[in-house]
Amino acid sequence: MTLAAGLDAGLAALGLDLPGDARRKLLAYLGLLAKWNRTYNLTAIRDENEMLTHHLLDSLAVLPVLEKSALAGRRWIDVGSGAGLPGIPLAIACPKLKLTLVDTVDKKTAFQRQAKIELGLGNVEVAGGRVEDLSGGGFDAAISRAFAELADFIRLAGHLLAPRGTLYAMKGLVPEEEIGRLPQGWNLVDCLPLQVPGLDAQRHLLVLEKA
């Protein structure tokens, strides 16, 4: 199966009907990631078909479970974005979503900036440096994918949220012990199972808000 056919099948399984331009950009992003990865080692996954499942579709799997009101016109930040995951796939799929990517590793933010330019992602901004050093209060939501324990995610990124903002943590198995260590004043308001096409592993999206 070609990458394009695999992407189409994955999107159909997720119930996502994306326009042709978005599909082309998603494939172009995969190609760019594979190209850079050969030199800069951005991700341990080398095979593009595995990248499609483990990175791209895994990132997009949050969309079917999110309320539309959480996305269009909202200001999101992807914390510890790495190679732009999940931020760049989300920005491609949701062009009305305003998304900032932040990572401390220069080669990763360089890749993010190149992807922004080559893919024409006007709704993406790239912020290098430590997330805890960013100015607070400017985002409706912060999302992380395999970034840190929940308590650390809250400690490092909680200040970024506007009033009534939301933290979204993408996890594998439900991290019961981490949930038990949530800081005072923060609640787990939802734990949503994610279905990633072609991936035989548990995935969950944890939704955290201030009490």
Nearest-angstrom CA–CA distance, 199 and 49: 12
- 44 three-class SS: coil
Residue numbers of the domain that contains 27: 3-210
Per-residue pLDDT of 43-57, as tens digits, reads 999 999 999 999 999
Assign 99 a pLDDT band (cuts: 50, 70, 90).
very high
pLDDT at 125: 98
Nearest-angstrom CA–CA distance, 108 and 139: 22
User: Could you tell me the CATH number of the domain that includes residue 55?
Assistant: 3.40.50.150
Read off φ and ψ for residue 3, nearest 5 degrees: -60, -40
Per-residue pLDDT of 110-158, as tens digits, reads 999 999 999 999 999 999 999 999 999 999 999 999 889 999 999 999 9
Asked if omega into 86 is within 30° of 0 (cis), the reply is: yes
pLDDT at 117: 98
142/211: higher pLDDT: 142
Q: Please report, rounded to a whole number, the percentage of residues in the chain having pLDDT higher than 70.
A: 100
Domain count, the chain: 1
Q: Please report, rounded to a whole number, the percentage of residues in the chain having pLDDT higher than 90.
A: 95
What DSSP state is assigned to residue 8?
H
